[in-house]
Every structure is written in structure tokens, then in C-alpha cells.
Structure 1
Amino acid sequence: MKRSSAVIRRVVLAAAAVALAAGCTPDGSGTGTPAAPPSASAGTPGATPTDAPTSDGKPPSPSATFPTESPSDPASADPSGTPSAKRLLGDGDENEQVRELQARLRQLDFFDRAPTGFYGTMTAGAVKKFQARRGLPETGTVDGTTWRQLLSASRKPTADELKPATTNQLDTPDPRCMTGRVLCISKESRTLAWMIDGRVVSSMDVRFGSENTPTREGLFKVEWKARDWTSTIYHTPMPYAMFFSRGQAVHYSADFAARGYAGASHGCVNVRDRAKLSALFDQVKPGDKVVVHW
């Protein structure tokens, strides 16, 4: 028994050592002490970014769209035959069903940005406006009645409506973005706004990490920059990288430029407009604030 326990302990310690060496703490839960960052002027060998574009993301299949008959199914109605108030979609949901909801609301001018697939405060506000127009309880969540009325008032979104190539509209800036020099990054609107003393200087579309490798949220600062950098973990290019949280960085992604939101990063903030990011890279300085928020 003692010999078996010793073997198990050695295996666990070895696995932990490998994880720390690889810098694999995408959720911020790692307990190892991070290595000191390299100089601000360029990346030095040995730094450990945790991101590069993935190549395994696939566009959602047609079956991922919200089933148009769900709200009128027998399971979603009470015995009297009236539509159920059961919640179908609401705050915090993130999937292709939400994307279709947003695209339909956008057709009716209730949602004024590109669909993101995330149900947050802006989507809830758009749903409330639609419900008010239809004389429904203004809950901000989608039940069977709300969805059925939305179906009757809109048409099935096209692929371009679900994932348009146009630039996303900026979110209301987080209060922490209103002073100083800030990269203000919204997960809900999927945008990055470069702000100086509360004024938006430039903005661009961004993409984040997947559920398994999420982009950390919070208040950070630009730790160092590298105009030409290649991930030491994934061995993929990360041009115009601005690192802000133990290997996570804002950087250009050729994959994002080619496939849009069909893919995801390993935790970094991907930008698809190379020209905009190149100009931003020249303006941002180490020490500038980075705010990542919903």
C-alpha cells in the first residue's frame, strides 16, 4: 500500500510540474509563480503566451438553430392550451439560439448591433422593447409566447444576418474605462475600444477564448509588447501582441480574419483588422490599462 501511494504521488507531482512549465493556467487558477515578463520593447525567448488561434472550430450546424416549433410544442403549453411562461432563453445564455434571437430582433430594429450569441443586458433590453410593443409582460426573457410572436413578426435569418462581416457596434464603456489610457474590451459586444480620458480614439471587432480556455475578465495593464511574436506553446504567429495577463494578449489573428466567429482563441483577444491593430500597437504603451468586461 505504501509503495502504491508513493507511485501515485510521484505521478501527480510530475503532472503538476509539466502543467506549470507549460504555463497552462487559462482560467487564472494556477498556483505557480509566473516568470518575470520580458522587456517592453520586444518579446524575449522563453516567455509563455497561452494563446494562438485554434484550427478546430467549426461553424455551427443548421440543427443548432432554435427549433421554430418549440414554443408551440405540447410540452411548452399548460393544460388549458395557452402558451407557457416557461423560460426558453435569458440572461447568461450563450449559444446559436441566442444568435438567431438577436438577428430576428435586429430585423425589427430592436437590436442595433451584430449578433454575438450572448444573452446579456443589451439583448434583455431589446426583448423588453419587443414585448412592450406586443403588449406582453416586459420580463426581458424569452418564453413561448414571446418567441412565437417574434417568429410571426420576422423571417428566418440568413447566414450573413447571423454572422455579418460588418463591424460590431460599441458597448457602453465600463466605468473603469473612463479615465486614463485604456484598452476597453467588451465580451458582450465583442469589441475593443482604445480610449483616452473617456474618449474613443479607435475601435475594432474582437474574438475571445473558448469555454475551456476563457479570456480572463478584470482590470489589467499592458505588461509588454511584441510586434512579431510566435506562440511558444502553439507555434502560431501572434503579430502585434500586447500581453496583459500571464500570457494572454491582444493580437492579430489570421484565423479570425478568415473564419470570423466560427472559431475561438486559447484565451487571447483576437483582432481581425490588421491595419487597425497595427496603428493601435504604435499608440499603446506598457502600463496602459486593459479592462475586460461583459
Structure 2
Amino acid sequence: MRVTHKIPAVRLRRGVALSVAGLVAAPALVLGTGTAAQAASCTKSTGPYQKKVEEFLKRPVDGKQSTGDCKATQKFQKAHGITPTIGYAGPLTWRTMNTMLDQKAAGKNPNKAKKCPTNKGRIACVDLTRQLSWIQDGKKLKFGPVPVRTGRDGAETRTGASKVYWRDIKHWSTIYKVWMPYSQFFDGGQAFHSVTKSMYNPPGSGGCVNMRPADAKSYWKLLKKGDDVFVYGRKPGT
């Protein structure tokens, strides 16, 4: 078995950081019992975000639940780990869709509001509100933006300025007992790293910035020890 190195001692900000936080989120809430039966069922109930969900899924927008609406919503929920997968147009389903719309609207100008510093040279920016990350050099966009999965409620990815202080291409988490490929630690135990699950899988990470494998690999190639990282905003639902 591969023996991993301990994280070098660093000054932790805003309280005690969770060592190697971030890959495995707490289980999402599943209502009732018999989860297998729930997954196969399809609700007839009209959700509070019915019209918005219908519009997002390019369904007829009438605000009434139909079998087609339910199945389309179920498909979306299953793809992103939203439970219970019964096709209900509820708050979590719409919040996820709305985040996707915000990400799409960012286009190739994610720092239009200039919330991430442009006077630092190479810097990795993380917008918790839109669940987006990108790398810029001054005002020039170098990579991204790409969707990310940040800390869940109670284990939020910490905001503020920091720097990449340790990199481990095949890190093993002693807390979660999982591999964290392309790990780049920037704040205590919080790091950019690869996961294979959906970036929209609720409720979020244990504090790390989860990335799709290809995006994490690109960050590994573009960033180096000492590069700046800036995290701002607030993740929806936290």
C-alpha cells in the first residue's frame, strides 16, 4: 500500500481546519423508507418550482405536473444525485438548475464584477455563489471557468486569500479513506482535487474544491506551489 506524506504544518485560518477535508459529503436526506421503491416511483404532486423546472428542461410550461415532466425531472435528479428521485420540482432541484444557469451566464468573462483580484498575476479564483472556478493572470483568463463542488453547510470552503502550499498528485485521505487525485492544498486541509461524481451532487464536499478529472488535471499543470488562490461568495444552501 502506498504510504503518503503528512501535510506540512501550516498556519490555519478562521479556526481549526479539517485535515484533508473535502471528498465525501454527508449522505443526502432521503425521505421515508424503502429508497429503492422511491427511486422507481414518480410523484404526481406539483412542486413549488414547477414552471421554472419545466422551462429549464424544455418541457411545456403550464405549472402542472405530468408524467413527462416527472420523468424528465427524475432523469435530472438521478444524474446529479438529488434525492429522493421522485420527479418533484422542489427547492433543491431548482437551486441546482439555477446554479447551472448562473454558470452558463458567466460565459468567458467570469470576473466581470472584478471580485477576484487582478493585481496578483497567476491566481486561481473560486466563486462559491456560482460554484465556479477559473485561473487568470492579471485580467487575462487562462483557464475556465469550470463548475466545482465546494463545502457543504457546516463544512464550508473558507473564503479569503491564500496560496497553494502543497501538491500531491495521488493523495490518500486518511480521514475519508479515499484517493484525492491532483490535490493542491491552499488553506489548511482544503484543496483542489479530482472526483468522479457530479459537480452538483448535494450537499457538497467536506470543504475541498472538488473538480472534474480533466479540470483538476489542467489545474495541476497550470498552478504551482506559491500561486495565489482567492475564494469568495457563499454557496447556495449554506
| Among 248, 254, 261, the residue aligned to 2:196 | 254
| Residue in 1 that maps onto 2:122 | 181
Distance 2:189 2:25 in 1: 16
| Number of equivalences | 176
Matched, 1:225 2:167: yes
Q: What TM-score results when the alignment is normalised by the length of structure 1? A: 0.50
Shift of 1:58: 5.0
Distance 1:206 1:175 in 2: 16
Q: Secondary structure at the match of 2:198?
A: helix
Shift of 1:105: 8.6
Q: Is the 8 A contact 1:53 1:256 kept in 2?
A: no
Report the AA paired with residue 29 of structure 1: G
Shift of 1:57: 2.5
Shift of 1:27: 8.7
| Among 219, 226, 236, the residue aligned to 1:280 | 219
- CA-to-aligned-CA distance 1:235-267 (integer Å, 9 cap, x gap): 11111111010110011112336xx33341000
CA 1:53–1:65 in structure 2 vs 1: closer, same or farther (change >3 Å)? farther
Q: Secondary structure at the match of 1:226?
A: strand
| Residue in 1 that maps onto 2:206 | 266
- CA-to-aligned-CA distance 1:123-164 (integer Å, 9 cap, x gap): xxxxxxxxxxxxxxxxxxxxxxxxxxxxxxx55586349446
Matched, 1:199 2:199: no
Q: Is the 8 A contact 2:155 2:207 kept in 1?
A: yes
CA 1:251–1:105 in structure 2 vs 1: closer, same or farther (change >3 Å)? same
CA 1:59–1:168 in structure 2 vs 1: closer, same or farther (change >3 Å)? farther
CA 1:67–1:232 in structure 2 vs 1: closer, same or farther (change >3 Å)? same
Distance 2:47 2:159 in 1: 28
Looking at CA atoms only, which structure, 1 or 2, has the larger radius of gyration? 1
Q: Is the 8 A contact 1:241 1:252 kept in 2?
A: yes
CA 1:50–1:241 in structure 2 vs 1: closer, same or farther (change >3 Å)? same
Q: Percent identity?
A: 22
CA 1:185–1:175 in structure 2 vs 1: closer, same or farther (change >3 Å)? closer
Q: For structure 2, list consecutive stretches of 5 or more residues without a partner in the other structure.
A: 1-8, 32-37, 64-68, 77-92, 234-238
| Residue in 2 that maps onto 1:71 | none
Distance 1:281 1:59 in 2: 36
Matched, 1:213 2:152: no
| Residue in 2 that maps onto 1:291 | 230
* Root-mean-square deviation over aligned CA pairs: 3.9
CA 1:199–1:290 in structure 2 vs 1: closer, same or farther (change >3 Å)? same
CA 1:227–1:106 in structure 2 vs 1: closer, same or farther (change >3 Å)? same
How do 1:162-173 residues align onto structure 2 when only pairs under 5 Å count? 162=94, 163=96, 168-169=103-104, 170=106, 171-172=110-111, 173=114
Distance 2:21 2:137 in 1: 28
Q: Is the 8 A contact 1:53 1:253 kept in 2?
A: no
- Identify the structure with bigger relative contact order (alpha carbons < 8 Å, sequence gap 6+): 2
- CA-to-aligned-CA distance 1:163-191 (integer Å, 9 cap, x gap): 46899333434242453111111011111
Shift of 1:52: 1.9
Distance 1:178 1:200 in 2: 13
Distance 2:178 2:136 in 1: 29
| Residue in 2 that maps onto 1:66 | 48
How do 1:80-159 residues align onto structure 2 when only pairs under 5 Å count? 155-156=62-63, 159=73
Distance 2:30 2:194 in 1: 21
Report the AA paired with residue 66 of structure 1: P
| Among 2, 13, 19, the residue aligned to 1:48 | 19
Q: For structure 1, list consecutive stretches of 5 or more residues without a partner in the other structure.
A: 1-22, 35-46, 69-99, 108-153
